[in-house]
Amino acid sequence: MEVYILDDQLRRIEVFDRFESMIWTERYNAFGDFQLVIYSSSKARSLFVNDTWISITSSKRVMTIDNVLATEDSDGKNFLTITGRSMEAWMLGRVNRRNLSSTSAPGPLTQTGTPYNIATALFSMYCINNTFIPEDNLPFYTAGTLYPADTIPMPTTQYTVEFDIEPVYDSIKNLLDMFDMGFRIYKGPDTSKLYFNVYSGSDRTSRQTTRPAIIFSPDLDNLTNVADLRSKEDYRNVAYVFGKNGSRIVYASGASASTTGFERRVMHVSASDIDLPAGSALDAALLQRGNKELSKARTLHSMDGEISQLSEYKYDSEYCLGDIVEIRRDDGYTNYMRVTEQIFVDDGEGERSYPTLDHDV
């Protein structure tokens, strides 16, 4: 695996392929991260400095160096451990208010539309077309996408959503998490162009015929080291939401007022920051808050596996983050799972690529 050092125009200026280990993780609905361990040398120390953007051969994502730790082991060898995050984390440094003035109260931010429209509007207002604070806009942004159209439908229902004053990243992520949607910032090949997309992935299982099925299985010799985790430890399906001037019971999908006994798993949600008067607006705000918190407390079903480097399915080609693929265990059990992470590893054992596959869809 090769690591590229990028200049301030996001162009490749150096290539580095001598390191002890490299872990590079990309995520469907969150920023990614990396860890690089290399021998310390004058060249390495000059190349790998804070705020430098890097990329790798097999990815469209770019990541920035946040931390450089110099250490010496028991044999007197000097190493650099370099860590950082992908460009989506840049949005943590952008706040969802544009008119920052001591003469006017910020007030609530309310948006109406589909989840896709609201998320893209937030990004546009604060990261692309921010005329109040143009310094906050994303450099090198280019409209469009380098990916094929998704086949998993996005929600078409219109919602009215009220946002706290918070990082734009949190606003977009928390909204899209409720609908199993993702977002990404990535770079064009050998260009300075950056793209932002809200996306839902494509169905690539055998239950559809639009695209070739992607099937990972030990029996097909393209999936090994499978780990399957199922957990309901943090699962909740009922939220008691308490606002300043009222309260509401909110139910997760599949639950209702008739859910009782051991099937009823309740969480308490404090919404004391919601200061609306009693009425429909308060009711809608409490519903939104309850749905937001319930979306974080779902049943966990994740499956990790290592894709053979000889597999006919290549990441970012035959399948991408957000896609639904088919997993068949060696006992014949079949499940449909979303690709939520792609992890690249390069160390003394060679190069490997791991998908993280999450929850039934």
pLDDT of residue 73: 85
pLDDT of residue 7: 94
Indicate the Cα dihedral angle 136, 138, 143, 146, nearest 10°.
Answer: -150
Question: Tokens 């200061």 label which residue?
Answer: 275
Contacts 24+ apart (CB under 8 A), 233-238: 233/300, 234/297, 234/300, 235/265, 235/297, 235/298, 235/299, 235/300, 236/265, 236/266, 236/267, 236/294, 236/297, 237/263, 237/264, 237/265, 237/294, 238/264, 238/265, 238/266, 238/267
Q: What percent of the residues of the chain are helix, what percent strand, and what percent coil, each to the nearest 5?
A: 15, 40, 45
pLDDT of residue 105: 63
pLDDT of residue 25: 97
pTM over 0.85: no
pLDDT of residue 18: 84
pLDDT of residue 237: 96
The whole-number mean pLDDT for each consecutive block of 10 residues of the chain, a chain of 361 residues, reads 92 90 96 96 92 93 96 89 97 86 69 95 95 93 95 92 91 92 92 95 93 87 78 94 94 94 96 88 91 88 68 86 88 83 89 78 48
CA distance 76 to 64: 29
Domain ranges of the chain: 3-86, 94-199, 215-231+300-351, 238-294
Q: What is the DSSP letter of 203?
A: B
Residue 144 burial (CB < 10 Å; 0-12/13-18/19+)?
exposed
pLDDT of residue 102: 58
Q: Are 202 and 318 in contact (CB under 8 A)?
A: no
Other CB atoms within 10 Å distance of the CB of residue 22:
22
pLDDT of residue 116: 97
Fold of 94-199: Phage tail protein beta-alpha-beta fold (3.55.50)
CA distance 345 to 167: 31
Q: Which two tokens stand for residue 256?
A: 């209702």
Crossing angle (nearest 10°) for helices 168-177 and 115-123 = 170
